[in-house]
Amino acid sequence: MERSFISYLLLLLCIFTFSDAGSIGVNYGRIADNIPSAVKVVQLLKSQGLERVKVFDADPTVLRALSGSGIKVTVDLPNELLYSAAKTQSFAFSWVQRNVASYYPSTQIEAIAVGNEVFVDPHNTTKLLIPAMKNIHQALVKLNLHSAIKVSSPIALSALQSSYPSSAGAFRSELVEPVFKPMLDFLRETGSFLMVNAYPFFAYESNSDVISLDYALFRENPGVVDSGNGLRYFSLFDAQIDAVFAALSALKYDDIKMVVTETGWPSKGDENEIGASVENAAAYNGNLVRRILTGGGTPLRPKADLTVYLFALFNEDEKNGPTSERNYGLFYPNEQKVYDIPFTVEGLKNYTDRRSPVSGGQKVNPPVNGGVSKSTTGNTWCVGNPEAGKEKLQAALDYACGEGGADCRPIQPGATCYDPNTVVAHASFAFNSYYQKKGREIGTCYFGGAAYIVTQAPKYGKCEFPTGY
């Protein structure tokens, strides 16, 4: 790829995405006997520029240590307390009073996670979830904290009945009426958001023969076209998140926002845990941080700037399960980084994804089923995304017609493609001209999330979009 083209891409990223970016947090698990004290952990978080943390309980030592730190906190009501919180309003009230109100606002608690991945809990606590969430929220109302502190519950991707292609995303049918609809109604009524735990590692580990490692690690790849909506995905993470957005849309809850409460990649695993390595963990988390902090949303929801919590702060040596379970940490117990990645926009300025010579030449194998483009040089066109908004579209249009070198003569007043005289129509023509002139190179139809690729020729009045120059 030409160096000048790479410069154009970097310029576009800076112009169109840094102003509207997401947020990075970290999960602070403590199933270990060797991690630093809570006071030292808070110092570590501040030194790394991490401004959000999620804990899996409401430990007083941790909440006191976070007091006055300015770090926003999500606490958790553990699954084992769901029964009591669901059955007794007085229990929910005393829990909130003791574990939340006692520390707020000096400890900036911003959310309560009621349970964690309840639908896969072997103790069958699903039917308790909605009553527990409502009782916890009612306690916040009584304490006049409901405007500042939101209530939600993290779901695993296994709550989806289908997730591929992303446009076919749907929640498990047996959960829709008894759980999802009432939960989503609750989130809408209280101004809260859906919490989602997403791990591309699990999908890659199980399907490494058909899923490209570069696709899983946010590296350059041909992308995968969604056969349902024509959008092209360049990362498995975006595809997974859009599957959840599609599931929300299918139930008419397009207005519900999402927070990714867990995602990560293990730096070590058992022999059968394909892809678990320090290099891959560094690439996934480092490239994810860059992806989130440079904004742009997902292909389906380009305005959905995400808050994402990395899993996890430390390697936790007392966790059960395969080796990977004890090796998701960003830091060793001695506070040294397992691998060097940034967590802030400032840190990204000097960040590069350091792939080894071996992985650098790895062949890209896109998934074999479901609307995959086998070639990046077929009949594809680049069009403007109306959801990106007029300002972003106009800025990208100006770039394409100016420095980008697109042929914009047909969209001038009186020319063949001037009508319809709308920003999205003019941007689509300019984006496609740029895309075709660049030989449909990977990444040339992005424009900070303002454009996407389609596989059918666009039509705007009598205007014809070229397929090559």
pLDDT, tens digit (0-9, with 9 covering 90-100), for 90-117 = 999 999 999 999 999 999 999 999 999 9
User: What does 224-272 look like in DSSP terms, one character per residue?
Assistant: EE-TTT--EES-HHHHHHHHHHHHHHHTT-TT-EEEEEEE---S---TT
Q: Which of 51, 205, 262, 316 is catalytic?
A: 262
Three-state DSSP class for residue 77: strand
Q: What is the mean pLDDT of residues 362-372?
A: 29
Residue 468 identity? G
Catalytic site includes residue 262: yes
**CA proximity to 287, closest of 335, 216, 336:** 216
Do 28 and 462 meet the contact criterion of CB atoms below 8 Å apart? Answer: no
Three-state DSSP class for residue 291: helix
Question: Model confidence at 454, in pLDDT bands (50, 70, 90)?
Answer: confident
Catalytic site includes residue 318: no
Three-state DSSP class for residue 294: coil
Do 45 and 71 meet the contact criterion of CB atoms below 8 Å apart? Answer: yes
Do 387 and 301 meet the contact criterion of CB atoms below 8 Å apart? Answer: yes
User: Residue with structure tokens 């967590």?
Assistant: 343
DSSP 8-state symbol, 158: G
Counting residues of the chain whose pLDDT is more than 70, the rounded percentage is: 90
User: Residue with structure tokens 């909130």?
Assistant: 96
Kindly report the pTM of this predicted structure: 0.74
pLDDT, tens digit (0-9, with 9 covering 90-100), for 333-349 = 999 999 999 999 999 98
Do 269 and 323 meet the contact criterion of CB atoms below 8 Å apart? Answer: yes
Three-state DSSP class for residue 80: helix
Do 415 and 387 meet the contact criterion of CB atoms below 8 Å apart? Answer: no
User: Residue with structure tokens 């991490």?
Assistant: 50
Q: What domains can be seen in the chain, in order of their start residue?
A: 23-349 (3.20.20.80), 381-454 (no CATH)
